[in-house]
Structure 1
Amino acid sequence: MSVEDVVEFEELAQRAPETVSLELVDGKLGVKPVPDGDHGEIVMWLLRQCLQQRPELGLYPEQGLVVEGWHAGRVKPDGALAPIGTFAGQGEWAAPDHVLMTAEVPARDHDADRLERYEKGCGYARSGIPVHLVIDRNSDTLTVFSDLRDGEYCQRRTYSYGATVGLPAPVAITLHTEKLKDYAR
């Protein structure tokens, strides 16, 4: 993908209607639907857990990340955990250099589901983000991807809602997931 294509995408993303968010994933245009209420509550639940345990970090919702080396991708995870101040002075699309974890809460839509479950996770790994968390509302589970080696996550652990989930270093946060049962449908 050329620099001109990326610039063109960024201009298109700025003009997208409020009902969608555009991403450039693995060289393809991706459309992320507007989140529903349960999605927002899950992201807020995660944000509170992170801030309570690691106040020096922020969970930045919908922060655009440039995932270079991955078809010059532009993605917006549901949460990007990074030290406070990491994104100061950066534009809509920031480097993922200091991001410790990305989090995705996939929509109940099949296309978004594949995008958020697989394709974006591969991009996060190739960009060097140590931990990737997927909170899956279709199966009422959390999956933690970690042990990053050569641009791939070598460890994948899945937990049911209600479990206590320890996120590995450098995140080092324990998630108490009982509350997620309130958002199971």
Structure 2
Amino acid sequence: MGKAYFDNGDFLAAARTLAAERGPAAVTVDAVAARLKAPKGSFYHRFESRDALLGAIWVQTVLAYQEGFIAAIEAQDGLAAALHTPAWSRRHLDDARLLLLYSRHDFVQGDWPVSLKKDVRDQAARFEACLRDFARQAFGRVGPAQLRRATFVLAEVPVAAVRGHLERREPPPPLVDELITQTFHAIVG
């Protein structure tokens, strides 16, 4: 048996490009196969369904984003964690658009393989653990009010600050970092 002409990475890359250009709804089995000039059977040889492919894209993207965020929290540098969103968005504009302009539910649908469901649960648990760690570091305890502040300053403010720029397909300017920094200091002290 010869080497396959297409591999999983080819299908993921084609689907990621389609999603970045026109959103997750544009990612269909036919569209991905057409982009690669691959037979549909080649797709189904690698992925159980369109949902499995979209789920794999979302998990890969969120895990790539979370690397720097988690590293900043582990270094007890909450400001770096908050500033990670615009910095990562500048370096990975298309992936930032996928992750921050669309809901996880635009990607996470249907019946997924068990391993993919586990990956989603694991990434969510890592993010929540970071929020708890930061709340403890910054506010001295992990109660509902402290978790709300942590979520606001580490996730909601940075995403809101970059969203308009991502919608316009432009990297967030340095002013975004200044606004996030000022908000962080106003809330955290």
For the aligned pair, the TM-score class normalised by the smaller chain equals under 0.3
RCO comparison, higher one (Cα < 8 Å, 6+): 2
For normalisation by structure 2, the TM-score amounts to 0.27
Q: More strand per residue: 1 or 2?
A: 1
Larger Rg: 2
For normalisation by structure 1, the TM-score amounts to 0.27
